[in-house]
Amino acid sequence: MMLIPCPFCGHRNESEFAYGGPVKPDRPDPHAASDEDWVDWLTTVPNPLGPVEERWWHVKGCGTWLTIWRDTRTHCVVEGSGDAG
Amino acid sequence: MRDRRLASGGRIDRSRPLAFRFNGKGYRGFSGDTLASALLASNVRLTARSFKYHRPRGIVGSGPEEPATLVELEGCHASANRAATTVRLEDGMAARSVNCWPSPGLDLGAVSQLFAGLIPAGFYYKTFKWPGWRLYEPAIRRAAGLAGAPDAPPPDAPPPDGHFEAVHAHADVLVVGAGPAGLMAALVAGRAGRRVFLADERTEAGGSLLDRRMEIAGRPALEWVAESVAELTSMPNVTHLQDACVWAYREHNFLMVNERSPANPSMLERNWRVRAGKVILATGAIERGLVFPDNDRPGVMLASAAQAYVNRFAVKPGERAVVFANNDSAYAAAADLLASGVDVAAIVDSRDPVPDSARDLAGGIPVKGGSVVIGVRGRRSVKGAAVSKRDGQGASTIDCDLLLHSGGWSPAVHLFSQSRGSLRYDESLATFVPDEAAQACVSVGGASGELSLASALRTGAEAAAMITGTEMPDLPTTTGESYAITPLWRVDAPGAKGRAFLDIQNDVTVDDVHLALREGYENVEHVKRYTTGGMGLDQGKTGNINIIGTIALQKGVPLQDVGTTTFRPPYSPVSFGAIGGIREESVVLPYRHTPVTQWNLDRGAFMYEAGARWRRPGYFLRGDETFQETVNRECRAVRECVGVYDGSPLGKFELKGRDAGRFLDHVYTNLMSTLKPGQCRYGLMLTEDGLILDDGVAMRLGEHRWLVSTSTAHADAVHGHMEELLQTQFPDWSVHVTTVTSQWNNATVCGPRAREVMAALGTDIDLSPEELPFMRFADGHVAGLPARVVRVSFTGELSFEINVAPRHMRDLWEWIMEAGAPSGIEPVGSEASHVLRVEKGFLSLGHEVDGTVDAHDLGMSWIMSKRKADYVGKRSVELRRRGKAVRRELVGLLPADPNDQIPEGAPLTPGGEKRPSEGLVTACVWSVVLDRWVALALLENGKSRHGETVHVRLKNATVAATVGEPVFHDPDGLRMRS
Ligand SMILES: [Zn+2]
């Protein structure tokens, strides 16, 4: 079970969080984006072998949606979401 | 029966004899015995049959490495597939060998040995392929399976609750293993004041010192062990568990510890989940076997195991032994056996010359250097060892009833490897040792390849001193011992004929590995899977290295290049119960209740799971009603007079802030911001890919204040969805979401006589259709309680949803029942609610809505706002509908025979024939208004097929039904607006 750094609560067990998936690019303007770009944004999820930026929801804690960089090979959180206690 | 117990010695309590049964026969052992030592003491030698060939097997090891004797425990100890060497003997215990029927001595499955040639490596993948594996699977599994899950416990077993427990713990230093290295590390870390968690899988501390005759500080080593344990016990900062196996090393220094014998007698096992700052792996080393023909016969045993049986359990595993070794450690074992009265006929050493350090330990036992065991005499029990020089010269047979072998020692790197640390092959030790750590852990003692007692104490102390930043303590003196090895991966002398086992548990031989290599499975991971070598419950603790050696020899490459397979949890088998801990009906994962739950239970409500851990009444059975009569009665009450249901579990969220209206316009498909305070609107939420997330109601409480209600099961998903959007996409929008699901309870009074009940309750809210029309709400009092009354309807009837604070809910409920009695009020469960919504064609997520359906398919195009330029899911729905794909659309179905019920989920096919389906039935209920079965269905182009006859295809029948509007009652919605 991973330890996930919450900017408000500090390092907490993974079981307190809900996984929010890798961070996608910003939502394209639905009026300007081509069909291909829209579908690409919708369905292509970053899946690198190495650090990935991803979101977690501290649902059984403070309720924050936070972002971390996690190395998919090692589970190491290489960059947290700010300092926490 | 011959008693093989020594007259004195051992770590057993002779004042506490224990009776146990094995394969139906009664035996005796002592407290301190394992099942294996007690069987050996009772001279039970044939204890098992092998997995694939049903060959007779005995006890091979003395701990979790045991590959041969698996047992199934019965009664209150019920457990499947335990290694006999890890079962702590208890009074009244009953055990059975797995893999043999009716007994290991007379095993009918043993005929499969005759067909052994038909079961080579990979036979699962090659044989039995035509016409289908499933035809053969049951028979093969029966013949070659292990034990099944235990049957239900007998009546005298402990109560089902409290059997297992899972607890969390934190430690500055987690020490795995309480042998000399682990004890030393725990002492140093404990004295430094750190929170220490020490766990060891054996029933008592000491590790290898229990099995051997060693000295520390000039005294028997076990005196040092006892003093160390006493000192640890005196430290409040130290948690010390025995019979507690650390079975998993997960990410971020999270380890699982299975405590097998917690002090609390009502508890079978306790699983600790330990988060550790630093981990010291003092897991010791495991002796591996040698690979020679028939090395699996009962009586062939690891040298270290025999040493453990004479020293720790005071059991002579045989009368006359031959020892076969390629290293020095077996000499000490031989000496201990000799000292215990076992006649050691010879030490057969493959090395040439045998080092003097080894010869010095032999103590007069004849040593045959440069020699190997080329065969075993005796089928059900060893009767002799065939020995020759490595080149095959000078073959002879030595009579013996015990053949001990030692292929050297492999550090128990399992946990280190699980933590993703890398391994390196050490030439001088002929084994893999820890290389680079991936987490905050350090290996000490035997686990790091430091095989002497002195270096175990030293490395244990060093690791703890470094972690704690304290001085190295003075280390006690020890008896010296040497260790030297020349690897022998298999015996290939000319006379060596017969099956030589690499993995005794899974019946994998040298020939199997050669076959796998010949067929192109060259990677060690492929060899493992193709042969199943190392895939047993013992995880190949004694044999994996020999498989790697065999591959290396055959391919002519160094072992480092072959590498090891990946070590995965569990290190030793763990009960599922221990992993789960206590779950149901407990404080760990409780059900959620409303203030009316007890009232429901008191009236015999049958409770249903309603999602999100809520339980709601399904129906209120009364008298000798049938289920259908109950549901009909509850439905009729709502349609003909009045009913009431508890809507408290519905998700409720309050949104505040000046951007709340704008935000709701973005998450709902329809327009919300145009609502005025006091108004509410039914709405649909989509995910960005256009799928329906939830349907619910938004109420505008004030200019910047809203209340959103959701379905019960999707409340959490909707909450996460809203928070994610607000926190990640619109952090600058001023909207604050508060969960108020449990702050608002509600009772919904519904039916044509609902207004009567409201009047009888008494309210200061004007409930007239003019003042409080459909889809409006008002705050005030009901029955003297502060309340909010909302005019929504999920039944199609006139409805008043009375929302109150939870502390008032039970009163409100009882007063409603009282006030409604003259009108014939009935409490309504989920079954009736389901019927009522189907009659109205109201959608239900999970029934009509799946990942293929959008609002247009449901006939709800009106809810997809055309005025809004954008909302979540809009673009995706439009994109998908632009194609020409045929859509499945919601329709009503009337079965041709009104008494035909259609199973929910049944497919519709053209003409009811065996053809691709054109839809499915999503719901089918007995309609009390039409007095017949009615159904909802998703049907290809359904909206344009009203009046057609379609066919439901069932297993043995087809049901014809007429297509129509998906509404069977009050199509204009006049009643709910009344
Ligand atoms: Zn938090």
- Partner-chain contact B870 A30, CB within 8 Å: yes
pLDDT value of position A85:
35
Give the dihedral of Cα atoms B459, B461, B462, B465; nearest 10 deg: 160
Q: Which of B251, B723, B875 sits opposite A38 (nearest CB)?
A: B875
Confidence category of residue B265, pLDDT binned at 50, 70, 90: confident
CA-based nearest distance B690→chain A, Å: 10
Assess B728–A contact: CB distance below 8 Å, yes or no.
yes
The interface predicted TM-score (ipTM) is 0.94
CA-based nearest distance A80→chain B, Å: 14
Assess B870–A contact: CB distance below 8 Å, yes or no.
yes
Residue whose C-alpha is closest to residue A58's, from A84, A2, A20: A20
Question: B916 φ, ψ to 5°?
Answer: -55, 140
| Helix/strand/coil percentages in chain A, nearest 5 | 15, 35, 50
Contact between residue B269 and residue B78 where contact means Cβ atoms under 8 Å apart: no
Q: Pick the residue with more confidence: B877 or B135?
A: B877
B599-648+745-835 has which fold?
Answer: Gyrase A; domain 2 (3.30.1360)
Q: Which alpha helices (H) appear in B668-750, and where do they start and end?
A: 715-724
Q: Pick the residue with more confidence: B224 or B582?
A: B224
Is residue B360's pLDDT more than 80?
yes
What CA–CA distance (Å, rounded) separates B438 from B456? 22
pLDDT value of position B932:
98
Interface of A with B (CB under 8 A): 1-3, 13, 18, 20, 27, 30-31, 33, 35, 38-39, 42-43, 55, 57, 59, 63-65, 74-75
CB hemisphere CA count around B383 (13 angstroms): 4
B289-407 has which fold?
Answer: FAD/NAD(P)-binding domain (3.50.50)
**B1-149 architecture in CATH?**
Roll (3.10)
Mean pLDDT, residues B427-442: 96
pLDDT value of position A83:
42
For B277, the token pair is: 């700052």
List pLDDT tens digits, range B519-563: 999 999 999 999 988 888 888 898 899 999 999 999 999 999 999
- Partner-chain contact B438 A74, CB within 8 Å: yes
What CA–CA distance (Å, rounded) separates B231 from B242? 15
Task: Report the residue of B170, B252, B272 to disrupt the A interface, i.e. the one with the largest count of A CBs within 10 Å.
Answer: B252
Mean pLDDT, residues B16-31: 95
Task: Report the residue of A57, A60, A70, A77 to disrupt the B interface, i.e. the one with the largest count of B CBs within 10 Å.
Answer: A57
DSSP state of B708: E
Confidence category of residue A78, pLDDT binned at 50, 70, 90: confident
List pLDDT tens digits, range B638-652: 999 999 999 999 999
- Partner-chain contact A65 B689, CB within 8 Å: no
List pLDDT tens digits, range B809-820: 999 999 999 999
For B975, the token pair is: 């009643």
Neighbours of B223 (CB within 10 A): 13
Neighbours of B931 (CB within 10 A): 9
Q: In chain B, what is the straight-line distance between the N-terminal and C-terminal CA atoms, in Å? A: 91
Is residue B322's pLDDT more than 80?
yes
Q: Which residue(s) pair with B702 in the sheet?
A: B705
Is residue B136's pLDDT more than 80?
no
Mean pLDDT, residues B377-406: 96
Assess B28–A contact: CB distance below 8 Å, yes or no.
no
> B785 in helix, strand or coil?
strand
How big is the CA angle at A34 (ends A30 and A40), to the nearest 5 degrees?
90
**Closest CA in chain B for residue A28:** B875
- Partner-chain contact A39 B729, CB within 8 Å: no
- Crossing angle of the two packed helices B715-724 and B660-667, in degrees rounded to 10: 120
Domains B289-407 and B651-739 share a fold: no
CA distances from B330 to B181, B333, B357, B433, B456 (A): 21, 5, 12, 21, 19
Largest distance between two CA atoms of chain A: 45
- Partner-chain contact B874 A74, CB within 8 Å: no
pLDDT value of position B578:
83
Class of domain B885-978: mainly beta
pLDDT value of position B138:
58
CA-based nearest distance B438→chain A, Å: 8
Q: H or E element: which one contains B926?
A: strand B919-927
Mean pLDDT, residues B263-286: 91
**Closest CA in chain A for residue B250:** A1
pLDDT value of position B156:
46
Domain ranges in chain B are 1-149, 289-407, 599-648+745-835, 651-739, 885-978
Q: Which alpha helices (H) appear in B196-302, and where do they start and end?
A: 221-234
Question: B627 φ, ψ to 5°?
Answer: -55, -45
CA-based nearest distance B274→chain A, Å: 10
What CA–CA distance (Å, rounded) separates B254 from B274? 6
Q: In chain A, what is the straight-line distance between the N-terminal and C-terminal CA atoms, in Å? A: 20
What CA–CA distance (Å, rounded) separates B370 from B390? 6
DSSP state of B727: I
Residue whose C-alpha is closest to residue B840's, from B877, B800, B795: B795
Chain B residues touching residue A39 (CB < 8 angstroms): 879
> B36 in helix, strand or coil?
helix
- Partner-chain contact A57 B720, CB within 8 Å: yes
pLDDT value of position B120:
62
- Partner-chain contact B724 A65, CB within 8 Å: yes
Contact between residue B446 and residue B409 where contact means Cβ atoms under 8 Å apart: yes
Domain ranges in chain A are 3-27+40-79
A2 CA distance to ligand 1 centroid (A)?
Answer: 15
pLDDT value of position B4:
93
Is residue A23's pLDDT more than 50?
yes
What CA–CA distance (Å, rounded) separates B618 from B631? 9
Contact between residue B923 and residue B934 where contact means Cβ atoms under 8 Å apart: no
HEC profile of B307-343: HHHHHCCCECCCCEEEEEECECHHHHHHHHHHHCCCE
Size of interface A-B (CB pairs under 8 A): 50
Assess B879–A contact: CB distance below 8 Å, yes or no.
yes
Chain B residues touching residue A13 (CB < 8 angstroms): 275
What CA–CA distance (Å, rounded) separates B62 from B211? 9
Q: Which of A3, A20, A35 sits opposite B879 (nearest CB)?
A: A35
pLDDT value of position B148:
58
CA distances from B135 to B109, B124, B128, B139, B141 (A): 19, 13, 8, 8, 11
pLDDT value of position B240:
98
**Closest CA in chain B for residue A63:** B723
What CA–CA distance (Å, rounded) separates B73 from B22? 9
B73-87, B466-480, B766-780, B939-953: least confident range = B73-87
For B514, the token pair is: 């050669």
pLDDT value of position B346:
97
Confidence category of residue B159, pLDDT binned at 50, 70, 90: very low
What CA–CA distance (Å, rounded) separates B241 from B228? 14
A62-71, B76-85, B854-863: least confident range = B76-85
- Partner-chain contact A30 B874, CB within 8 Å: yes
Q: Which alpha helices (H) appear in B96-252, and where do they start and end?
A: 123-126, 133-144, 180-191, 221-234
pLDDT value of position B134:
59
pLDDT value of position B154:
44
Confidence category of residue B158, pLDDT binned at 50, 70, 90: very low
Contact between residue B581 and residue B271 where contact means Cβ atoms under 8 Å apart: yes
pLDDT value of position B106:
61
**B651-739 architecture in CATH?**
2-Layer Sandwich (3.30)
- Partner-chain contact B724 A18, CB within 8 Å: no
Mean pLDDT, residues B64-86: 86
CA-based nearest distance A65→chain B, Å: 6
Mean pLDDT, residues B306-329: 97
Is residue B102's pLDDT more than 70?
no
List pLDDT tens digits, range A36-61: 999 999 999 999 999 999 999 999 99
Mean pLDDT, residues B879-890: 91
Class of domain A3-27+40-79: alpha beta
Mean pLDDT, residues B264-292: 93
Assess B716–A contact: CB distance below 8 Å, yes or no.
yes
DSSP string, B372-404: EEEEEE-SSS--EEEEEETTS-S-EEEE-SEEE
Q: Which of A1, A43, A74 sits opposite B254 (nearest CB)?
A: A1
B797: Cα separation from own chain's centroid: 47
- Partner-chain contact B251 A63, CB within 8 Å: no
Q: Tell me the pairing of strands B777-782 and B745-750.
A: unpaired
Confidence category of residue B155, pLDDT binned at 50, 70, 90: very low
B723 CA distance to ligand 1 centroid (A)?
Answer: 14
CA distances from B665 to B20, B252, B662, B738 (A): 72, 42, 5, 18
B583 CA distance to ligand 1 centroid (A)?
Answer: 25
Residue whose C-alpha is closest to residue B377's, from B491, B498, B489: B498
Mean pLDDT, residues B42-60: 90
Taking all residues of chain B, what is their mean pLDDT, rounded to a whole number?
A: 92
Q: Tell me the pairing of strands B48-49 and B215-216.
A: unpaired
